[in-house]
Chains A and B, each alone.
Chain A
């Protein structure tokens, strides 16, 4: 859809049915996918605003950067694997096959659960080292940003668990195609968000 072309139309001049069977400008995607894309933009705004707040707060004199645990690299690897498995599942349903679908789709979710468990371990490790939530804004931001990211993953896992149950109940690949595509898109998005957050946390 060309925004400028649309806005340049002169509707008072044209009469009759235009646009064939559907009006011009409709996205050629399922409504669920259009809605998820909108949601991803909203989630991006939320994470961006937290990041901007992080940079502004960082400038104030009481900021003491915390040393991020090395385990974050391992956790990042788990989330990458999670995304890879979801992409694998997506490729399987796109080609109309069924083989290995359960392994790929369920595996993707399991790696995400392991990622969240890993994140909780970093929390515990930081607490053990005396990096408490209230002792410094850098700590507070660490817990807040990682927590918020994990909450988004948990939301995705809720949808994933519903689709997994359908898969175990014998649902066919074509019936789960949209669900798996949306999960994959969401997981890739959360991987990108995590990589950006990790880059910010590790370099400041």
Chain B
């Protein structure tokens, strides 16, 4: 153990320096290594989720040609795809991956508050993934109850994976929640307690604000899923009737009696809706920083952006029942949730305006991160607007359980956050690896992904208008659905395969760059935020060398009038601020001295 003094703390921080390869790369307590471990496990799981989607898309597009996909496997693939993408991929990658990497660096800290707990978090996450994947190998396979796992069908004989599959899924979720809580406590307390000298909350980059508020949401929303999972485990394993009503299965009454499936739905969506923002808020933060840096302008309306993040976070807890309009709720109840849903659109729209106004008259540099960030603004507007339709009870009722819903949520919380993920990975890749990726390949990756995503999801809205229901193994002969709908389905499948294949470009780019890529220069984008000001590229364990940084300004001093370069790093004192006319600099008016 070595002790490194912290300038802004009364006591010393205990740094656990690695002594072996295993301590450095496997059981590491360095937040950057843990971030990459979290990210790698999440990406691996995401690839499984993506592969499953291609399989069930093959069934939907070409039902006559794929004999190896039976109805049971179709439902299992759909269920596992949904749960993997929402929980084990996006949540883990944004919070465990980017949260871990960015928070200590952007806060000017050496590490998380509790590095050991952080390490425990990633290993617990891995255990949850192993349990999840184990369900593919048990008798009956994984659960096929749909990603929402609604009872009573989760436990019914006709549902694939109704025995071991659902049990493993519930245990995996419970373990995942433990991992998220350990990580989340670390992220939240690090932001509150471990910021360096001069770094007030309102000087934090929006990335940290987004991840911070999303973490708070995760800490308070995941308990609802935990409560639902525990009660469902009791129902499934021990025969209680919390959620399970009296059911007759193949002519035989089950032992359950009187449970409330609607109670489960309330608990699930009390978690489920904040979950949307657990994914979206970090994306909002990351994209704000990418847009601002590459537009060479300060983010438009910084305070409003912070307020919007906080307001969205608060409101996200009182909109959950808009997922349940068809469950037969009281009209006033529906009215309340429709109103809150439309209200949450206000801060969200404010953010969109601010992103566009950040670009307005900016010195825009159209590189790969910027392509993905601008692409996000498009897909998020489209996905957000269809949300306004579905938020209204009367419009939601006919569209519920159709492909319109699938198209909406994939645009808003599938494609949009993933575009941000790519923007962020390309933007911070030089920091994380010390290498510069191939720009041409990255731009090809963008166009194929962006246009391909529209080719998938735009037609799905039309399928939804036609009334094509989701979760059907085959459409069959249906009077109100024209035969041409099947052609559209086939084209969607082709586009999906195309987009999935395009992701190979991304992996080639990353792997090739890591092996043969040219060395990145320090702070290649001319970024003002603190993470790029670390003395080493990539930053070493402990991040800041001998002395912790001191922050003198916010993270968005771009194109400041009078400054000789178009950005001023956060740790540049006013006295050292490079100006065009240095002769007239008056040290007596240097505020930093007075404040110290």
Contact = CB atoms under 8 A, between A and B. Distances in A.
A10 B302 CA distance: 9
B12 interface: no
Contacts of B203: 11
A47 B286 CA distance: 34
A38 B223 CA distance: 13
Given A34-B189, A38-B219, A140-B234, A23 B201 contact: yes
B114 interface: yes
B259 interface: yes
B591 interface: yes
A38 B121 CA distance: 17
A140 B193 CA distance: 42
Contact of B200 (A6, A57, A148): A6
A22 interface: yes
A46 to B, nearest CB: 4
A158 interface: no
B8 A22 contact: yes
A10 B267 contact: no
A140 B241 contact: yes
Interface string B282-298: 00000000000000001
Given A17-B596, A31-B189, A133-B238, A23 B197 contact: yes
Contacts of B550: 17
A162 interface: no
Interface string B531-548: 000000000000000000
Contacts of B574: 15-16
A27 interface: yes
Contacts of A49: 223-224, 227, 267, 270
B234 A144 contact: yes
Interface string A32-49: 001100110110011001
Contact of A12 (B197, B201, B298, B573): B298
Given A25-B192, A42-B181, A134 B239 contact: yes
Interface string B238-261: 111110000000000001011110
A49 B231 CA distance: 11
B148 interface: no
B180 to A, nearest CB: 11
A31 B115 CA distance: 13
A130 interface: no
A63 B257 CA distance: 10
Contact of A17 (B181, B266, B306, B592): B592
A196 to B, nearest CB: 16
B552 A16 contact: yes
B595 A16 contact: yes
Contact of B192 (A17, A27, A61): A27
A53 B267 contact: yes
B559 to A, nearest CB: 13
Given A16-B594, A144-B234, A53 B263 contact: yes
For A17, A21, A57, which residue has the most chain B Cβ atoms within 10 angstroms? A17
A128 interface: no
A179 to B, nearest CB: 15
A142 B320 CA distance: 28
Given A16-B573, A53-B267, A137-B258, A41 B220 contact: yes
B303 interface: yes
Interface string A163-197: 00000000000000000000000000000000000
For A19, A25, A39, which residue has the most chain B Cβ atoms within 10 angstroms? A19
Contacts of A46: 223, 226-227
B319 interface: no
B202 A11 contact: yes
A140 B240 contact: yes
B219 A42 contact: yes
A31 B202 contact: no
Interface residues of A, number: 44
Contacts, number: 157
B257 A62 contact: yes
A18 interface: yes
A152 to B, nearest CB: 13
A137 B242 contact: yes
A55 to B, nearest CB: 10
A14 B554 CA distance: 8
A133 B237 CA distance: 12
Interface in B168-224: 181, 185, 188-189, 192-203, 219-220, 223-224
For B223, B303, B550, which residue has the most chain A Cβ atoms within 10 angstroms? B223
Nearest to B195: A23
Interface string B126-154: 00000000000000000000000000000
Nearest to A12: B554
Interface in A56-91: 56-57, 60-63
Given A11-B554, A41-B220, A23 B267 contact: no
B427 interface: no
B122 interface: no
Contacts of A137: 240-242, 258-259
A60 to B, nearest CB: 5
A7 interface: yes
B95 to A, nearest CB: 15
A199 interface: no
Contacts of A38: 185, 188-189, 219
Given A15-B552, A16-B591, A19-B200, A42 B241 contact: no
Contacts of A62: 241, 257-258
Contact of B592 (A15, A19, A56): A15
Nearest to B593: A16
A124 interface: no
A10 B192 contact: no
Contact of A45 (B197, B202, B223): B223
Contact of B113 (A35, A61, A148): A35
B570 to A, nearest CB: 10
B260 A57 contact: yes
B353 interface: no
A14 B219 CA distance: 33
A33 B482 CA distance: 63
A63 to B, nearest CB: 8
Given A25-B201, A46-B227, 13 more contacts: A10-B202, A11-B202, A11-B302, A15-B552, A15-B592, A16-B591, A42-B181, A45-B223, A53-B231, A133-B240, A134-B239, A137-B258, A144-B230
Which 3 residue pairs of A and B lie closest in terms of their CB atoms, listed nearest first? A16-B592, A62-B258, A11-B554
19 contacts: A6-B200, A7-B310, A10-B202, A11-B553, A16-B591, A17-B197, A22-B197, A23-B196, A27-B193, A35-B185, A41-B219, A42-B223, A46-B223, A46-B226, A49-B224, A53-B267, A134-B238, A134-B240, A137-B259
Interface of B: 8-9, 113-114, 181, 185, 188-189, 192-203, 219-220, 223-224, 226-227, 230-231, 234, 238-242, 255, 257-260, 263, 266-267, 270, 298, 302-303, 306-307, 310, 550-554, 556, 573-574, 590-596
Interface of A: 6-12, 14-19, 21-27, 31, 34-35, 38-39, 41-42, 45-46, 49-50, 53, 56-57, 60-63, 133-134, 137, 140, 144, 148
